[in-house]
Structure 1
Amino acid sequence: MNKVVLSAETIRKIGMVLGRNIPQSEEGNIESFEGFSEADLNDFRLLESRSGVLAVSYIRYRLEKKEDLDIVVSFLASVVLQGISVQEWVKPR
């Protein structure tokens, strides 16, 4: 598994948007999309309202995997923006 490495500048910008520091304990502590909490989704929505690139970067950073961008963008569009449940989104189609 390849770790997603965000630059210090990107982490700083994410922290500014969220209004808090991003602790090292948040790095890659999510096994899969299903592990995201409602608070995580709220963070992603706030980031998306400022910058979709920051939202996508932070989702990938939290997963710590280099998830295909199409998958992350689908998650952002469906779950974060449209409110589809994570459980529904991860179901095989």
Structure 2
Amino acid sequence: MRAVYETFKNGESPEKIKASSSRDGTGTDFYSLLYAGLLQESMGTLNDPGAKRDILAACATPYGQLSDDYMAALARVHLRQRGWFEAQ
């Protein structure tokens, strides 16, 4: 979360958030991809291809698919609202 906070605060690249991920399929991966996607979307257009890629990837992680966590549900709703749909 520190990387997320610093990246949003300083307007840095979303890649910094993704670099902080453990890439082991845990919630860390989910959150780093979700926040990187949301940052890209907030910095660009609502249909930013990088945002779509990262938020889809977040939802495709084991945590994103299996968790009943509020943020996992939020990510799935975000995809539906954008018309991006989840990868199965």
Regarding TM over 0.5, the answer is: no
Q: Which has the higher contact order (CA 8 A, sep 6+)?
A: 1
TM-score relative to the length of structure 2? 0.33
TM-score relative to the length of structure 1? 0.32
